[in-house]
Structures are given as C-alpha cells and as structure tokens.
C-alpha cells in the first residue's frame, strides 16, 4: 500500500509552527470506495513511533456495510495530510453490516523531495485504553495488582504470578489448601503429617501388615486377615449366652411378654416392667381382677365395661391365653365382660368362675288373719255375707334388689404397659 504526502498538510504544520502554535494535529480519516466518499471517522489514537513513522487508529461501530479502497488523513485545520491506497485500487479493508471496523495503520513518511516530516511539531493524541476503545495503558504495580480494584492499568505475568502465589497455600488441620501425595515409603513410615495417602499406597501398606500378622492380635501384635475377619464378624453377629454380638432393643410389647430372650431392655423399658409388678408393693398377674377407686384404669389394666379390644389376641397375647373367664376371644379380638353386677365368691358353691346369674328372690311365705261372717235368712238356710275372691297388696321398693353398696371400677390386668 502506497502513501502520498500532500503539500497542503505539510504547509499547515509549518504555518502552525511559524505562528507559535504547537503544530498541526492529525484528527480525521476520510474513507472512500473508488471516487465515492463513504464517511469521515475521528482518529482515536495517533502516535509517532519513530521519526518517519506515525501510528493511527480509528473505529466505526455504526451499522452499515462497505469496502474501503482509499483513506485520506485530514489535519485539525481540515487540510489533507496524506492519502493511502493500493497501487491497483483494490480493497484495503471491508466492514460487515453489524461488524465494527478497526483501522490501525502505520504511515511511513518518505524523504523524497518536497516531502517534509514534521515529527516534533505534530500534536499526538493517545487516548486511555478502555473496554470499548484501543489506546495506551500504564503497567500496574504489585500493590495495585494485589488490591484488585484498578481497572485502568495492565497486569504483567510477573505481578500475576506473585498474586496467584498468595492463594496457593498448604492444607492443614485448620485450613484447606494444596497437599502433596505421600510416597509409599512415607506411608510405610507413618510419620509424615503433611502429605496425603492414596488408596493404592494404603492398600500396599495393609497388605504388608497382614502378610506378616498372626491370628492372635494384640495391641503390639498385628492381626492377620483371619483375625480381622473374626473381629468384624463378632461385631455383626447376634449375641447369645455363649458369644458376644449385637442385640436389638425390645419393643414395649416384647418387654411385657417376658418371653423374648433375644432383645435387650433399656432402662426405660426395665422400669416400666418393674412398675407393673411393684405398683403399691403388690405383684399382678395377667388376668387378675382388681378394684380401682379412679375413673380410669391404671397402665396395664382394662376396665371391664363390655368393650371389644380390636386385634387384642396379637397385641395382648398373654391376656388372650390367660384362661380368664372374664374375657371372650372372638377371632383376633378380645371382648371384655361388663362388670356392672355384684360379684360373688365361688367358695364351695359349685358356681363356675365368670358365670352370670340373673336376679332372683328366694322362695318364702307370709302369714295373715282372715275373718268370715254369715247372714241368717231363714230357719233352715245360712247365706254368707259376700263371695270369696283374690287380690294383691300395694307395691313398695325400687328398680332392683340390692344390698347397700359402694361403686368401684372393676379392672382386669393385661400386662402390657
């Protein structure tokens, strides 16, 4: 690409210098496609690299597509300074419809006759580099990199490495960080507390220990695989009277059944069982009938009120199989007697325990005085005063025959608390 320096631009620079000004400034670039002017763009960056070479930058982010075949660089006094184009007039740069055009060109000023390079007197415009615009930037110091709040300076590899090093710390018992893997020798020695053990080195260490171990392990003697296996099995097998092992905690019904020999009692369950047999210093057996002075039965008792206990055979197996005559087993249910009548002792009466009798009056008689009179009608015949007939006495008493009484809550002991 060739560059032609215009005398008008050089004259403008010389005139500005002679008048005491700082010099002409390259300010715009006019874009052409052939003879047609496309648009004028401001130069965002102008820098003299060395005598005879100027670096210029321009951008166009507006919508529109075009091809650039010629560029005219214009001074701040609107004078053409130089023209850049290919000798054959071909395209220098193209822009897409939604693309951003980035022009970054180096103007090589020739020393041919009539071409003067006003390097010192040309004003330079070098903007600060941003996220949207090319430009220059200062290198950040190490404190500025460490602070991390400066967005106008550049980070170098050296300052970046120093900053990253502050994040790379060793792992410890109190802080996360990087850790080195231990060698097999370090694992075998067991004295390094700053390196990590891998599954592979741990496996190798265990195999070495087990290969030289014995079956009778102790604190100072390592155990072989058979001893380890036996120890592990001892921790998972069920406890019996002949061996150590695991035990499951008994449920309330299992504790109350007093027939399970494979479950363990907790202090709470043991206390509940003891309370069943030590209430007020008296022991109770399943099926026992007691009188209570309270409105509701104590734990472990049912009130004999004629109710049905659903699933009672399963939930209260001891009561169902107790043989009590005060309950009836119906399928899986237990039906309680309705104890609203007087209770009689069996003794030598021959009555069955739990047998029910309706009310009855014992057979008896009453004595009374009767008077009889006659009416004389003639000498040969006696006629009674009236005719004989039947009658009832007046009623007395209540709705039942009973002795004097106090009412109590009759309960049966089922044994589950």
What does the alpha-carbon distance between residue 302 and residue 414 come to, in Å, rounded to a whole number? 7
Q: Could you identify the residue written with the tokens 């003891």?
A: 274
Q: What is the mean pLDDT of each run of 10 residues along the chain (417 residues)?
A: 67 50 72 94 74 78 92 86 86 86 72 36 48 76 90 89 80 83 90 89 82 58 63 69 82 76 84 67 79 91 95 93 93 94 86 85 72 52 52 73 87 85
Q: Specify the residue for token string 């951008």.
A: 59
The answer to pTM > 0.85 is no
What integer pLDDT is reported at residue 120 of this predicted model? 28
**Residue 310 CA to its chain's centroid (Å):** 40
Residue 30, classed as helix, strand or coil, is strand
* Cα–Cα dist 134/101, whole Å: 12
Q: How far is CA 256 from CA 30, 233, 301, 325, in A?
A: 104, 31, 13, 22
Spatial neighbors of 59 by CB under 8 A, at least 6 apart, are: 41, 44, 100, 101, 102, 103, 133, 134
Residue 161 contacts residue 180 (beta carbons within 8 Å): no
Per-residue confidence (pLDDT) for residue 104, from 0 to 100: 76
Q: Tell me how long the chain is.
A: 417
Inter-residue contact 75 to 81 (CB < 8 Å):
yes
Residue 247 pLDDT: 83
Q: Residue 220: its pLDDT value, please?
A: 58
CB-based contacts of 237, cutoff 8 Å, min separation 6: 243, 245, 246
What is the distance between the alpha carbons of residues 38 and 172, in angstroms, rounded to a whole number?
Answer: 67
């Amino acid at each position: 690409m060739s560059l032609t320096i215009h005398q008008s631009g050089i004259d403008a620079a010389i005139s500005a210098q002679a008048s005491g000004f700082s010099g002409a400034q390259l300010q715009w670039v006019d874009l052409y496609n052939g003879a047609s002017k496309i648009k004028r763009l401001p130069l965002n960056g102008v820098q003299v690299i060395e005598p005879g070479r100027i670096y210029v930058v321009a951008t166009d982010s507006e919508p529109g597509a075009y091809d650039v075949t010629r560029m005219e660089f214009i001074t701040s006094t609107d004078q053409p300074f130089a023209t850049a184009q290919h000798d054959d007039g071909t395209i220098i740069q193209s822009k897409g419809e939604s693309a951003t055009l980035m022009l970054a060109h180096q103007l090589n000023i020739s020393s041919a006759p009539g071409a003067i390079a006003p390097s010192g007197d040309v004003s330079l415009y070098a903007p600060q580099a941003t996220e949207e615009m090319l430009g220059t930037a200062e290198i950040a110091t190490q404190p500025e990199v460490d602070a991390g709040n400066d967005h106008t300076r550049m980070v170098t590899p050296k300052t970046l490495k120093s900053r990253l090093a502050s994040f790379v710390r060793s792992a410890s018992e109190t802080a996360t960080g990087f850790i080195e893997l231990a060698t097999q020798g370090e694992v075998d020695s067991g004295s390094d507390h700053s390196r990590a053990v891998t599954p592979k080195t741990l496996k190798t260490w265990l195999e070495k220990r087990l290969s030289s171990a014995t079956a009778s392990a102790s604190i100072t003697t390592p155990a072989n695989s058979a001893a380890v296996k036996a120890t592990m099995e001892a921790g998972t097998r069920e406890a019996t009277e002949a061996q150590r092992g695991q035990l499951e905690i008994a449920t309330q019904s299992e504790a109350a059944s007093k027939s399970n020999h494979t479950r363990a009692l907790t202090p709470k369950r043991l206390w509940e069982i003891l309370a069943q047999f030590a209430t007020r210093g008296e022991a109770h057996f399943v099926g026992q009938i007691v009188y209570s002075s309270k409105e509701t039965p104590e734990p472990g008792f049912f009130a004999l009120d004629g109710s049905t206990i659903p699933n009672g055979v399963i939930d209260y197996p001891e009561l169902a199989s107790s043989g009590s005559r005060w309950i009836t087993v119906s399928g899986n249910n237990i039906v309680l007697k309705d104890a609203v009548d007087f209770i009689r002792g069996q003794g030598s009466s021959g009555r069955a325990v739990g047998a029910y009798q309706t009310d009855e009056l014992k057979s008896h008689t009453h004595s009374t005085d009767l008077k009889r009179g006659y009416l004389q009608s003639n000498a040969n015949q006696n006629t009674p005063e009236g005719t004989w007939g039947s009658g009832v006495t007046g009623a007395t008493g209540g709705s039942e025959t009973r002795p004097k009484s106090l009412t109590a809550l009759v309960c049966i002991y089922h044994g589950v608390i």
